[in-house]
Structures are given as C-alpha cells and as structure tokens.
Amino acid sequence: MRLKSFRGGAHPATMKELSEGKPIVVHRAVGEMVFPLSQHIGKPAVPVVKRGDPVLAGQMIARADGFVSANVISSCSGKVKAIESRMTSAGVIAQCIVIDNDGKYTLAPGIGEISDYTTLTNDQIVEKVKAAGVVGLGGAGFPTHIKLAPPHPEEIDYIIANGAECEPYITCDDRLMQEQPQWIVGGIRILLQMFPASRAVIAIEDNKPAAIASMERAIAGESRMEVMRLKTKYPQGSERNLVHAVTRRKMAPGDLPSDLGCVACNVTTLAAVYRAVCLNEPLMEKGFTVTGDAVAEPGNFLVKIGTSFAELLEAAGGFKTEPKKVIIGGPMMGIAATDLNVPIAKIYNALICLTEDPVEKADAQMTHCIRCGRCARACPVGLVPQMMNFYAERKDYDRYVKLHGLDCIGCGTCAFVCPAKRPLTQLFKMTKGVILREQAAEKAKAQREKEAAKV
Amino acid sequence: MIISTVVVLAVAGLLMGLLLVFSGEKFKVETDPRESAVRECLPGNNCGACGYAGCDALAAAIAKGEAPVNGCPVGGAPVGEQVARVMGVEAGAAREKRVAFVRCAGTCDVTKNNCVYVGISTCEAAMTLPGKGVKACTYGCLGYGSCAAACQFDAIHVVNGVAVVDRTKCVACGKCVAACPQGLIEIVPDAAPLAVQCGNREKGPIVRKVCDAGCIGCGLCVRQCEHGAVTLQGNTAHIDYEKCVGCGKCAEKCPAKIIRNR
C-alpha cells in the first residue's frame, strides 16, 4: 500500500540514529528551577505564590489568565526564591517564578491517586486538563483544554495522535511510544469517550518501526483505534499536513482542525492528558532529547519542566567537542541558543549541539535566485516562496500579503531545498513580523479614532 | 476627393480646438502662481522632514500661509530667504536646528556578544534572532545599518558597531527614526548640551551583565538636577530639553558615564 502523505515537503537527513536506541532516563534536577509565566500561546499566567512561600511538586504556582492561557505547575518542592525577569529559552526576558529546589520532590496531596475517567463528564475532564496546565507539547504550546472543547463536539469524527516526529534528530516521542504506549492509549481512550462519533488514528512516520509495532501491540483489541504509517517526509508532523495525510481533508488558512472534524494532539500531549485525568498528575515532566555530534552521550530524558538546559546537558555527559551551533528544538524550526542557563519550558523537546553550523556554510554559498521553482514544489502550504522572496526583499508588503505570505508556517522547507541557498524562511519570518506589527498598529489607531469620535 | 478630406479634417480640427479652448477656460483650476515658484526654491528631496508629504505639499502650505517660509529644514536659511522673497515677507529667525540622536553607546568593545550571526544583514532580520541581535543587550543598536540605508543625506553611519549621526549633515527628516526596529533614534535639538546615550529599560544588575556603557537606572542624575529636567522612564534616565539648562551636573554624577556632553 502506498504510504499516506501530503504534497510538497523535503527529505532532510533524519539523524535519529544518534539517540533512537537510548531508553528514556528520568532526570531529577537538583539546581534551582525556573518557571516562565508564558510557556504557551496566549496570555501569560498570573503568579499565585509569593516570595518565600513553600511549594510542593505538582502545586499550581501561576493561574491561567483568561481563556487562552494555561496554568503553570511547580515540578519540584522547595521555596519560592523570587518572581523576577529572567532570560528565557526563547531569548526574551520575561517574568519567571524561581524555586529553590530542595531535591526531595515532595508531592502535593492527591497526586498519583487513580481516578476512573469513565465516571467523568466532558466538562470535568476539560477542567482537569486545564488545572493540570497541559498545552500542546509538540512545540506549538496551544492550551489543550481549548482543543478538547470544540464548538461542535458531536461533529468530531477523527482523533489524530501525532507521532510523526518529522524534525530530524528528535527521538523523544519515538521512545515514549515504545516505552509508555499505555499512557498514549489511555489519553486516546479519554478523547474517544469525549467525542463518541470519533475514531482514533495514531499517525507515525514509517522510519519508526519499533514505535509502530509498540503502538500496534498496545491497541490490540481496540475497535476504534488504528495505527497509520505515514511517509517519512518533512514537515509531516505539522497539523495541516497531518490532517490532510490522514483524512484527505484540506485545511484552509485560518481553519482549525476542529472545523474539519478533527482533534489533533501530539502523543506526548495525550500522555499528559492521561496522566492528568487518570493519575491526577499535572504537567510536571516531559520527554526531551539531547543530541548532536558535539554531545558526549546523546540520549532521551524524562525531564522536569523548569530544569536548566545546562543541567540536563551535564546529565548527557556535557560537550564532547566545542559546539559551533546549539539549537533548542528541531534543526528545521528550532531556535539557535546563545545561553544554556535558561529553563526548559513546556514546549521544548530537544537540545541539539552541532560541531558545524550548516547556516554559516549555506550563507557562504548564497547566490541569486535562479527561479527554478523548487521552493514552490516543496512548500507544504502551497505558497510560492520565490515570488514572496521577491516582494519581501522590495518591502512590497501588499503584494506579499496577496501571495498569502502570512500563511507561511515557517517550517524551513523552502530554504532547505533552495539551490541558491537563499535565507527564505528567515526573510518570511521577519516580513510576517513587520506586517503583523503594522496591522496591529493600524487596528489600534482605528480603535483610538473610534473612541475619540465617540467622546 | 482630396479637397473634401482636407476640408472635413480641418473643420473637425477646428471644432476640437474650440472645444478645448472653451473647456480650458470653463474648468480652470485657480492656482497660486507663488506655489510653483516656492516649489522651485525647495530642494526636492521629498524627505518629509518638514512634516508635510513631500516638497509639493510644503510648497502648497507655504503659499496658503499655513507653513512658515523657513519650513524646509534641509534647505535651511538660504532656501528660507529665497522662499521669503517669493512670498514677499521677512524670512525671520532660522528654525532651531534639530538632529537625530542614537540612544546607544554599546560599541563592540563595551558590550558583550552572544553569538555569531550569519544571515540577512539588516536590523529587522537581526531582530528576529532570539535575544534580538548579536549583542547581549536586547535594547541596544543592532549595528546592521538599516538607519544608514534609509538616510538620503549620508548623515548616519555604523561606527564600531553603533550608529552615529553626522550632525553637520543631518536634517532631522526622521527616516532613520522609522527605520530603527529598536526605536533607539530620536530627534533632539542640535543645541542640546547633554544626552542619555542608552535605551536599556531593565534594572541595573541586568544591564551591567550585558554592557559596560548602560544606564543602570540609579537615579543619581534625577536627584542632581535642580531644574527637574531629568526623570527616570522605565529604569532609564530621560532629559526634558525644554527644562534642561545644560549645567552638566547629571553627567558629572552619572556612575555609568552614560549622560554625555554632546
């Protein structure tokens, strides 16, 4: 059978062999833990603890502010050292809660008690997921409780467990599917109960045969679940492409998966939903891969959220050689790190240390666009990066918007395939930022004028 | 045959001509002849420094009497006198000269660098980096010269990692102000004796970690000033030039030496 996939994409070297054979190691951080108030899409959470307060592992330390926001949970026990501005992993200075970790990991009462999800209503489940601070752990950080409460739950007919893990190097989802499939299946069961008209598809790229076998074993006898093998192609794991590959439904710009009857969650998120609902464990730890040719012992970890990257790197044996480039996240969409003394937030899943900077190499070889159109064939969204590049360079933002340049997902495929080595993705990211800022400013101006007119 | 063709065309031409003459008279737009004369005097950069949308708009405003005759900062006093002659008025005192000023002194030797950056060499592109650019300070001049590229007057250049304004050439058109993604450039009176050369709004310890030439927000300058001209705005000193008398006491006391004589 032909493997399912989407139109476009690219085939970067997967480089997963560095860490795919390494079992998950539970890492218990000993140093101070830092919890940024914004680890998700939406408004930052509001602290509910003060300096000097004792906290227990699993205790909520910041409350979601508004609808699109998420709670922040302490992953360790200790004392609140400070609530202050700190450098975060995204390279911005933001408000963080700093906790002096006592290393005992004393759990808050009630954590680990087993609950039966079948006795809970949908609202109760959503409430539990919200309280646990679960967000999309694949990297988007969209609060999961919103995903689980779509406007028309009866119309949801697909639950897609995203096990594609299409970014090169990263293997933590692969290992999770091999080692803890019951967590993922538990999460899917909860979602199947919430959406009675649905069936679940666990979508995995075919370069992870062990994970496919493990998930197939775990769902044996389940009538409403299936494992779907997908072609190994980047960016298979992007929501839009995954929904298309699994259901053949096309998401228009601005559509959410729920508009097409789908709920798509990363497998790690589903595991977190299971642990939140059935084990009463809020989101305190997540799978994480430390890899790259500059790391002494690449491996997979179950790391406490709030641990510093530097501490986890030590757990992986530190640097074998001096790295030239360190990336937080995957090599295609991740961000280059300049400082490793920053906390691991909910949305990060890998630290990649490379002895060679591929961007520097590409920059040295950059030439003019030869209009070969390779970028247009590769773009998973169906855009024409070559033309977008032309207009973005000339700052002709109207034409850029007309080419749907704002729908660029920044996956990096165009820049990856470009034979002229043009920094397309960076240009689009920057142009999008400029246009969105301009639009926001115009909107604010119109609002002010409207208010002035009223007065 | 030929004669009738010539006659028909001649008559048609005559009628058209008459129509044009008639409509030209009927729909004539009254323009002030002084407007085009004023426009002739203006330099034609269309830079917008006067606050109007280009030289045409300024000429129209001067002709209507809405703008002063010396409204063009690029032309300065000589153009002001020419325009005054056209308008038949006194040129009056020259407008106070204003110049752009870059609120950053984080040159390569005093600020720390986070990384080596390769990629698009503009400030907007460098802003997309985590940590906003190569320098450890997230507020400082990025040093990729988007301001220099925007300047029509060759008045701003990146020197040793920081944009520096050439005060003799600057006409305060504000193009660089708009081009700076950090919002570090402001227009100040050229005669202003002192200036705070830092835009970092963080508290002292954070600033000290990233730059040796950063305002630490200690507030000594505010206490020194007898005229209430210096205030702290988000941990950074700010001088109100309306009140400043240029005594220099703030600069004397500044421990970071970031209030400087210009």
Q: Do A309 and A263 belong to one domain?
A: no
Over the stretch A281-302, which tens digit does the pLDDT of each residue have? 999 999 999 999 999 999 999 9
A202 and A296 both lie in a single domain: no
| A337 reaches B (C-beta below 8 A) | yes
Which residues does chain B have within 8 Å of residue A426's beta carbon, measured at their own beta carbons? Answer: 119-120, 125, 128
**From CA B200, how far away is CA B182, in angstroms rounded?**
10
pLDDT at B93: 66
What Å distances lie between residue A418 and A236, A371, B15, B121, B186, CA to CA?
A: 19, 10, 64, 19, 40
State chain A's mean pLDDT as an integer. Answer: 92
A293 with A277, same domain: the answer is: no
Query: Is position A61 within any domain?
Result: no
Q: What fold does the segment set B33-87 form as a domain?
A: 3-methyladenine DNA Glycosylase II; Chain A, domain 3 (1.10.15)
What are B249's two structure tokens? Answer: 């006491």
CB contact under 8 A, A357 and B125: no
Is the predicted pLDDT of residue A90 greater than 80, yes or no? no
Q: In the predicted model, is pLDDT for residue A254 greater than 90? A: no
Same fold, B96-188 and B192-262: yes
Q: What is the mean pLDDT of residues B221-247?
A: 88
Contacts of A103 (CB under 8 A, 6+ apart): A28, A30, A76
Q: A225: pLDDT confidence band, cut at 50, 70 and 90?
A: very high
**Phi and psi dihedrals of B32, rounded to 5?**
-75, 120
Q: Are residues A379 and A352 in the same domain?
A: no
Please tell me the distance from the alpha carbon of residue A332 to that of residue A426, in angstroms, as a whole number. Answer: 11
Query: For residue A91, is it within any domain?
Result: no
Class of the CATH-defined domain B192-262: alpha beta
- Nearest by CB to B130, which of A338, A357, A426? A338
Q: Which residue, A256, A281, A306, sits at the end of a domain?
A: A281
| Residue of B111, B123, B124 for testing the chain A interface, max A β-carbons within 10 Å | B124
- Verify that A274 and A378 share a domain, yes or no: no
For residue A74, tell me if it sits in a domain.
no
Tell whether A149 and A252 lie within a shared domain: yes
Rounded to whole angstroms, how far apart are CA atoms A116 and A118? Answer: 6
Position A15 in a domain: no
CA distances from B72 to A113, B61, B186 (A): 77, 11, 19
Q: What is the pTM of this model?
A: 0.82
The alpha carbon of residue B205 is apart from the nearest alpha carbon of chain A, in Å, by: 11
> Which residues in B lie closer than 8 A to residue A87 (C-beta atoms)?
131
- Measured between beta carbons, the chain A residues lying within 8 angstroms of B131 are 87, 91-92, 338-339
Residue B205's pLDDT band (cuts 50, 70, 90): confident
- Single residue among A306, A335, A361 that ends a domain in this structure: A361
Indicate if A271 and A410 belong to the same structural domain.
no
Same domain as A356, residue A372: no
B135 alpha carbon, distance to own chain's centre: 25
Residue A261 lies in domain: 112-281
Do A235 and A346 reside in the same domain of the chain?
no
Instruction: Write the CA distances from A405 to A379, A393, A396, A408, A440, integer angstroms.
Output: 12, 13, 11, 6, 17
Could you tell me if A291 and A385 lie in one domain?
Answer: no
On whether the CB atoms of residues A358 and A372 are closer than 8 A, the answer is no
Nearest Cβ partner for A430 among B116, B125, B202: B125
Of the ranges A108-117, A137-146, A341-350, B44-53, which one carries the lowest mean pLDDT score? B44-53
Two tokens, residue A372: 């070969």
Judgement on whether residues A329 and A272 belong to the same structural domain of the protein = no
Domain map (residue ranges) of chain B: 33-87, 96-188, 192-262
Q: What are phi and psi of A234, to 5 degrees?
A: -90, 140
Is B119 within 8 Å of A423 when comparing Cβ atoms?
yes
Of B114, B125, B202, the CB nearest to A426: B125
Q: Which residues contact B36 (CB under 8 A, 6 or more apart)?
A: B59
Q: Kindly state whether A210 is in contact with chain B, defined as any CB-CB distance less than 8 angstroms.
A: no
ipTM score for this prediction: 0.72
Number of folded domains that form chain A: 3
| Among candidate residues A171, A173, A172, the one with its CA nearest the CA of residue A163 | A173
B96-188: CATH number: 3.30.70.20
Q: A361, A388, A409 — which closes off a domain? A: A361
Nearest-CB residue to A427 (from B120, B129, B202): B120
A–B: how many Cβ contacts below 8 A? 53
> CA-to-CA distance for B21 and A245, rounded, in angstroms?
71
Greatest mean pLDDT range, A176-190, A319-333, B124-138: A176-190
Mean pLDDT, residues B116-132: 84
| Domain annotation covers residue A139 | yes
Structural domain includes residue A33: no
Question: Measuring CA to CA, which residue among A289, A295, A351, A283 is closest to residue A323?
Answer: A295
Partner A contacted by B124 (CB < 8 A)? yes
Instruction: Return the exposure string of B151-163: e unless at least 16 CB atoms fall within 10 Å of the residue's CB, then b.
Output: bebebbebeebbb
pLDDT of residue B94: 63
Alpha-carbon torsion (B55, B60, B66, B68), positive or negative: positive
Q: Which of B119, B128, B202 sits opposite A85 (nearest CB)?
A: B202
Q: Encode pLDDT of B69-120 as tens digits.
A: 888 888 878 888 888 888 888 766 666 788 899 999 988 888 888 888 888 8
Residues A298 and A397 in one domain: no
Q: What pLDDT score does B138 carry?
A: 86
Q: What is the CATH number of the domain that holds A197?
A: 3.40.50.11540
Q: What's residue A1's pLDDT?
A: 54
